[in-house]
Structure 1
Amino acid sequence: MQLVRRISRPRHLSLTLLGSLLPLAALADTPVTLKNEVITATQTAHSELSAPASVSVVTREELDKLPVYNLADAVKYLPGVHINPSSTYGRKEIKLRGMDSDYTLLLVNGRRINSRDVLTSEYANDFDLSSIPMAAIERIEVIRGPMSSLYGADAIGGVVNVILRQAGNQTRGGVAYSYETPTEGDGGDSHKTSGYISGALIEDKLLGNLIVEGTDKAAWRSDQTVARGADAAEHRQDASAYGSLSWLLDERQTIDLDITHRQDDRVANWYPSARYGVIQNDQEMERTSFGLSHTGRWDSFNSRVRYYYEDVELADASALMTRFNNGIVGQAEQQNHTVDGQLSGVVANQLVTVGAERRRTEFSHNQNLGTETNVDQYALYLQDEFSLGQLDVTLGGRWDHHEVFGSEFSPRAYGVYNLTDNWVIKGGVGKSFKAPAIYQSDETYSIAACQGGCRVKGNAELKPETAVSYEIGTLYQNERLEAGITLFQTEIDDMIISDRWRAGYRPPVMTYTNISKARIRGYELQGRYALNDVLGLRGNYTYSDAEDREAETPLNNTPQHLASLGLDWQALPALALNLDYQYVGSQWLSTPASGSQESGAFHTLNFGARYQATNHLTLNGGLNNLTNEKRDNVAQSVDNILMGRTLFVGFNYDI
C-alpha cells in the first residue's frame, strides 16, 4: 500500500516575485503532478504544496550547480534561513526564522545527528553540518517551524532532513572534482573530490552503493582580522565514505543497512585577546554511524523498525583549552543509540501514524565530568491526517520522557485549505521543547570563555525550554508561477542563555541561566516565475523581530531583514547560467570590550555557469562574492570576516 496524499505541485524552482504575485494566482489553474516529494513534515509523503508545514526542498540538480561543502552552503538561499558565522575562523551555523542554531534539528534519512556535547555550540560546532558527504545527498528538506510533535527535543526552530541517494538495479557511477580560490588574501584554496558507484549485486534482490569524498581546504588569511597572523578561515581536511545495502526480501519487505565514516580535522591560528596573542586551535573529530532498518508495505498499513548508532570522538588540542587544563589534550566521546518503530495506515478514511522511540546518550570527557554520563530518553507519538471537504487536517502529539528533566507533551494542529488544485491556505499551532544539553546542566563540565578570561560551567538547576509557535499563510504553485506569504510567531519560555562579561561584570566563573521569555515573530515572502522556457526568476524575503522579553533587547546574531533574488537562464541547450543576490540586514553582535553592538547590513552577488560538454561530462564554474563585499568594523572587531571574491571551477563525469 502506498500512503501518499495526492495534492500535487510542480518541480521545485525555488521562490520569487514575492507576495505581489499572489493576485496572478487566479489566472492559471493548470493541474500539476506530485514532484519533489516531502516526507519530513509528517513522515508520510506529500508535495511542497500539500505538506502541513512551511517546507522547501533542495534537489541534487541544485547541489551540483555551486561549490557546496556542507549543509549551510546548500540551504543558504532558502526563505527563513540565515547562515550565521558562528566563530572567528570561518565556521557557520544554520538559523531558522531568527532562532539560534541549537533550535535547528539535523536529520539524515529521518535520524538525528548530534555531537553537541562533544564540542559545544560555544565553540562553533559545525562538525554536524559536515557529517555527511555532499555527494551522497539526493535532496534536502527544510521545515521552518516547530516539529517536536514528531521529532521531540531541539526542533523548536525547525528541521533540516538530508535524504541520501538510494541504489537501483541499473549500474551507475561517477566522479567529481571542484577547485575554489579566493582572489585576495593569503591561502584559502580548496580541493574537493568525490566518487560513487551504485547498482544491483543481485538483480531485484540486493542493491548497494558506495560513495567517497575528500576535501582539503587551506587556511585563509585576510588583512581584515584584528591580529596579523590570525586565520579568517581555518584549514580543513576531511575524508568520508558512505555505503548502503538494500535487501529486497519480497515485494513488500526491505532490509536496509548503511554505514558512514568520516575523519574531520581542523587547524586555525586564532586571536582570542591581547592577553594570549595568536594561538593555535587544533581539533580532530572521527565519526562513525550505523543504521539497520526493516520496512514493510502491507495490505492496510506500512511499518518501519530500525536501530541506529553514532559514535563521535574528538581530540581537542586547542591552546586555549589546554592552558585551562594543565596542557592536557581534550579527549571527548559521545555515543548515541536509538531504537524506534512506526506504523502508518488508513483507518476510517484517516491516515494514522503511531510510533515509539528509545534513545540513550553516553558521554565521557577527560577534562570535564567526574564519571561517564548516560542519559536515557523515551517517546511515544501519534498523528492523524484527515479531510473535511476541502480542508486537510493534521493533528499530532508526542510524549517525551527525559530521565533528568522529566516529561513533556508536544501537541500540534495544522490545516491546509485547498482553494483550488494549485492554491492553498495553510496554518497551525504547535508546542515544542528543548532539554538542556549535558554541557549546560552538569556542574562538573566547564568550558573556556571570555576569550580565555573565564570559565562557563553547567547549572543543575536549569529547566527545559518550551515554546508555542503559530503560523498562517498562503501558497500558490503551477508550472510557471509560485508565490506565497507566511506569518509566524514563536514564544519561548525559560530560554537558556550563557552568562557573559560586560561592563563592570567580569567574574572568573559563570554559568547558564533561564531567561523568562523570548519572542520571535515576522513573515516570509517567497516566489518564482518562469518568464519562458529558458528564463526564470526566484526570490524570497524574511522579516524577523527577535527579542529577549525580559531585558527588552534584541537577540544577538539575528538580522531583521534577509532577502535573496536569483535569475536562471538556459542560454544554450548545453549552457545554463545563474545569478544570485543575497542581502543580510543589520544585526546585534556580542563584542567582549563593548557589549552588544549593532553591525551593519551587507550583501553578496554570486555567478555560476554549467556546461553539458557531453552526455557524461558536465563542466561548471563561477564567482562568489562578485563585488568583493566586506563586513563593517563591528563584525571585523570580533573577526566575523566575509570571504572576498572567490573563483570556482569543477566537473562531474557520470556514467
Structure 2
Amino acid sequence: MPIVRNRGISGPRHLSLTILASLLPIAALADEPLALQQQVITATQTAHSELSAPASVSVVTREELERMPVYNLADAVKYLPGVHINPSSAYGRKEIKLRGMDSDYTLLLVNGRRVNSREALTSNYANDFDLSSIPMAAIERIEVIRGPMSSLYGADAIGGVVNVILRQPTDKTEAGIAYVYEHPTEGDSGDSHKTSGYVSGALIDNKLLGNLIVEGTDQAAWGSDQTTSPRIDAAEKRQNGSVYGTLSWLLDERQSIDLDMSYREDDRKATWNNSGFAFPTNIQEMERSAFGLTHNGAWDGFNSRIRYYYEDVDLKDDSEVMTNLRGGRVSDVSQTNHTLDGQVNAFLGSHLLTLGSEFRRTELSHSNNLVSEIKVDQKALYLQDEFSLGQLDITLGARWDDHDTYGNEFSPRAYGVYNLSNNWVIKGGVGKSFKAPSIAQSDPTYVEIACRGYCVTIGNENLKPETATSYELGALYQDERLQAGVMFFQTDIEDMINTETTRLLPPPGPGLPPVAEDPVLTTYNQPHVRVKGYELQGRYLLTEAVGLRANYTYSDANDRDTDEAIRNSPQHVANIGVDWQAIPKLGLNLDYQYTGSQYVYDVARSGTFETGAFHTVNVGARYQATSHLTLNGGLNNLTNEKRDEVAQAVDNILMGRTLFVGFSYDI
C-alpha cells in the first residue's frame, strides 16, 4: 500500500466564477457528479490528490471510459488538457502528444511499468501498437502527467507520462460482459465490433484473489472519397484479441504477492498509396506476451516493493512494397524486455523518502539486420524527498541512469506546492530529463528499407542523447463544485533527434527538387528546440445534474536556430462539453473539440505545408435499464467535419459521422 500524504479539499469557495469565462473551451464530463478529489500516484509514486500532487496531472476514471466507445489509450485521453491526438500514419493510426512534443517523448506505463515496442516498430509505425496493447476492459483509471518525470522513470519521459492503473482482483465475486458496435454513415465499410468479458473473485477466501479479462475487436477497413486515390484505405483493417489475468496472494496482513500475465494478438491490413503509381498491401501481425511478479510489503514505518517484468513482442512485417524488393522475404522482428526493480518508501522524521533502483535489458533481433541480435542494458538509481516548510510542500528528486552505449545521465527535479488555503494552491517546478536514441536510430548495423522501398535507413553511431530542461508555474483551485487552474510551461530540448530526408526519385513534375545522389537516410541531432505555452482548465457543477468541464492548451514548438515550427503540432487545442443527468436512469453528454492549424510534411511535393483548423462534435447517451444492464449510444463527428485539402493530400483523413451503440451487463 502506498504511504498517503494528502491535504483536505473541503472549505469555502474563494475563486470568482469569472475565471471560467477565460476558459473558452469546456471539456466533457462523466455521467456522475464531479469527482474533485481523485487520488493519483504517478507524480511521486506516493498517494496525493490532484490538488496536492507536485505535477500537472489529470485522471480518467473507469466510469468515464464506459461512457464512450474507447478502443485504445488515444481515444481515452483525447479530451484532457495538454493532450493532442495526432494521426501517426495515413491509414488511421494515432499517437499521443503532450504539450506539443512528439509521441516519442510520452512514456507509457502500466501499473508503473514501462510498455515499449519502439525498437521493433520503426519509421511512421509510431506507438499505436503500444496504445492498443492494453484491453480497455482491464483499466481502472488512467493518470496523465504533463511535464518531465525522468527523475523517477528515466528516459522517454521528457513530455510526460501516461500511467494505466489496471483493475485489481476483488474479494467479492464480480462479472460482466460488454459490447459496442460502430458504423460510419458515409464511405466504404469501416464497421467495428468490440466485445469484452470480466470476472473477479476469491479463489480462497481472504487469501487468494484473481481476475480474468478478455477483449476482442474486429474493425473493417474504411474507404473514403477524401483519400488521394479510391484504391487506398483511410483506416486499416484491425483484428485483435487480448487475455489478461491477475492472481493476488495475501500472505498476511502486511505482505502480498501479485502475479499477472497477458497475451495479445494484433493484426493490421491496409492498402497504401505509394506516390500514386503503386498500391501495395501492408500486413503487420504482432503477438505480445507479458509476465509480472511483484512482492508488496507494508512494514512498521516503511513500505517496500520488488518486482520483475517480462515483455516479448514478435512482429511479422509483410508490406508488398518492401517484400517485392527483398525477393518476397518478410521481415520478422522480435523485441524482448526484462525489467527488475525495487523501491522503499519511508518516513525519516518529517521527510517522506522514496528510494529505488532498476535494471532493464532490451534484446532485438531483425531478419534484415546486418547483426542478428542487438542487446542494450540500462541501470538506474533514484531518490526522492517529500517534506513541508510551513504551507509549502516540497518535492526533491534525482535519478542516475547508466546506459550501455551513452554512459551516465543525471536527472534532478525540484517542485513546490504552496497552499494558500485548503482549496487553492500555487505550484511549479523545474526538472531535467533525457531520452536515449533507439537502436534503430543509433546502431549502424540496423538497416531497414524505407522511402517506400527506394532507400534504406541506417543508424547513426555519433548521435547524442536528447536532454531537456523544463519549467512550469501555475495555480489550481478546487472545492465541492468548482475546479479551475492555469499552468505556464516551457521545455528547452538540446540535441533533438530528427531524420535527414532526401528525395530519391526523379521529380514527377516541374519545379520540384533534383534527384538526390545518396540513397541512405540517417538521423542527426537538432541542436535547439523550445516548446512553450500555457494550459487553462476548469470544471463546474452547475447543479447535481448538470456539469461543465473546460480546458484550452496553447503550445508553441519551434526550432530555435531556424525559427521553423515543429510539424504535426497545433498551437491551439480546446475542448468544450456538457454532461446532463436528465433523469436518474438517463445521462446525456455533448463534446466539442477544436484543433488548430498545424504543419504537415507532403512527400509527393517534398515540402512542409500548413493545414487549417478543424472541429468535431460528439454526442452520447447512457441509460441504466436495470440494476445490471446499461445501454449506451451516440454519434461521433456529428457535423461530418472534413479536414482541408492540405491534410487530405497526405491522406490524413478525419472519419466521418459515425453511429455507436452498445451495452454492458454486470453482476
* Same fold at TM > 0.5: yes
2:587 is aligned to 576
Alignment map for 1:36-51 (pairs within 5 Å): 36-51=38-53
Alignment map for 1:509-588 (pairs within 5 Å): 509-588=520-599
Amino acid at match of 2:301: S
2:279 is aligned to 278
Amino acid at match of 1:76: K
1:603 aligns with 2:618: no
Is the Cα contact below 8 Å between 2:36 and 2:480 reproduced in 1? no
What is the deviation of 1:450? 3.1
Which of 174, 177, 180 is residue 178 of structure 1 equivalent to? 180
Moved more, 397-406 or 502-511: 502-511
SS of 2:54's partner is coil
SS of 1:456's partner is strand
Is the Cα contact below 8 Å between 2:103 and 2:127 reproduced in 1? no
2:248 is aligned to 246
Output the CA distance in 1 between the equivalents of 2:18 and 2:649: 36
1:315 is aligned to 316
What is the deviation of 1:7? 1.6
2:369 is aligned to 368
Change (3 A) 1:21 1:475: farther
Output the CA distance in 2 between the equivalents of 1:18 and 1:329: 61
Is the Cα contact below 8 Å between 1:211 and 1:243 reproduced in 2? yes
Deviations 1:442-499 (A, max 9, x none): 1122333334432222111100000000000000011110100000000000000011
What is the deviation of 1:122? 2.4
What is the deviation of 1:21? 6.1
Change (3 A) 1:505 1:552: farther
Change (3 A) 1:505 1:553: farther
Is the Cα contact below 8 Å between 1:206 and 1:247 reproduced in 2? yes
What is the deviation of 1:501? 3.0
1:643 aligns with 2:644: no
Is the Cα contact below 8 Å between 1:17 and 1:538 reproduced in 2? no
2:237 is aligned to 235
Amino acid at match of 1:7: R
Is the Cα contact below 8 Å between 1:352 and 1:384 reproduced in 2? yes
Output the CA distance in 2 between the equivalents of 1:454 and 1:590: 18
What is the deviation of 1:500? 1.4
What is the deviation of 1:18? 9.0
What is the deviation of 1:123? 2.5
Amino acid at match of 1:6: N
Alignment map for 1:134-149 (pairs within 5 Å): 134-149=136-151
1:393 is aligned to 394
Is the Cα contact below 8 Å between 1:17 and 1:539 reproduced in 2? no
1:624 aligns with 2:657: no
Alignment map for 1:132-281 (pairs within 5 Å): 132-275=134-277, 277-281=278-282
SS of 1:554's partner is coil
What is the deviation of 1:22? 8.8
1:5 is aligned to 5
2:440 is aligned to 439
Output the CA distance in 2 between the equivalents of 1:271 and 1:124: 18
What is the deviation of 1:9? 4.7
What is the deviation of 1:438? 0.3
Output the CA distance in 2 between the equivalents of 1:374 and 1:594: 36
Alignment map for 1:341-490 (pairs within 5 Å): 341-490=342-491
What is the deviation of 1:638? 0.7
Is the Cα contact below 8 Å between 1:469 and 1:489 reproduced in 2? yes
Deviations 1:273-321 (A, max 9, x none): 134x111000000000000000000011000000000000000011122
Is the Cα contact below 8 Å between 2:36 and 2:479 reproduced in 1? no
2:666 is aligned to 654
Change (3 A) 1:313 1:448: same
What is the deviation of 1:35? 3.7
Is the Cα contact below 8 Å between 1:8 and 1:49 reproduced in 2? no
Amino acid at match of 1:232: A
Identity %: 69
Output the CA distance in 2 between the equivalents of 1:79 and 1:366: 41
SS of 2:230's partner is coil
Which of 118, 123, 126 is residue 125 of structure 2 equivalent to? 123
What is the deviation of 1:504? 4.0
Deviations 1:599-621 (A, max 9, x none): 00001000000000000000000
SS of 2:48's partner is coil
Is the Cα contact below 8 Å between 2:36 and 2:483 reproduced in 1? no
1:73 is aligned to 75
Change (3 A) 1:591 1:538: same
Is the Cα contact below 8 Å between 1:18 and 1:483 reproduced in 2? no
Which of 78, 82, 85 is residue 83 of structure 1 equivalent to? 85
Deviations 1:361-384 (A, max 9, x none): 011000124131110000000000
Is the Cα contact below 8 Å between 1:178 and 1:651 reproduced in 2? yes
Output the CA distance in 2 between the equivalents of 1:143 and 1:19: 23
Output the CA distance in 1 between the equivalents of 2:159 and 2:635: 32
Amino acid at match of 1:269: T
Amino acid at match of 2:628: H
Change (3 A) 1:570 1:33: closer
- 5+ residue gaps, structure 2, are 11-15, 24-33, 504-512
Deviations 1:234-288 (A, max 9, x none): 000000000000000000000000001000000001112134x111000000000
2:13 is aligned to none
Amino acid at match of 1:155: A
Output the CA distance in 1 between the equivalents of 2:202 and 2:252: 15
2:26 is aligned to none
TM-score by length of 1: 0.96
SS of 1:64's partner is helix
Amino acid at match of 1:281: N
Is the Cα contact below 8 Å between 1:227 and 1:278 reproduced in 2? no
What is the deviation of 1:594? 3.9
Is the Cα contact below 8 Å between 1:22 and 1:483 reproduced in 2? no
Deviations 1:177-220 (A, max 9, x none): 00000000001000000000001011111000000000000000
Output the CA distance in 2 between the equivalents of 1:253 and 1:366: 45
What is the deviation of 1:591? 0.6
Change (3 A) 1:17 1:267: farther
Output the CA distance in 2 between the equivalents of 1:158 and 1:17: 30
SS of 1:482's partner is strand
Is the Cα contact below 8 Å between 2:343 and 2:356 reproduced in 1? yes
Output the CA distance in 2 between the equivalents of 1:21 and 1:167: 43
Change (3 A) 1:18 1:128: farther
Output the CA distance in 1 between the equivalents of 2:643 and 2:117: 30
Is the Cα contact below 8 Å between 1:22 and 1:476 reproduced in 2? no
Is the Cα contact below 8 Å between 1:18 and 1:540 reproduced in 2? no
Amino acid at match of 1:184: E
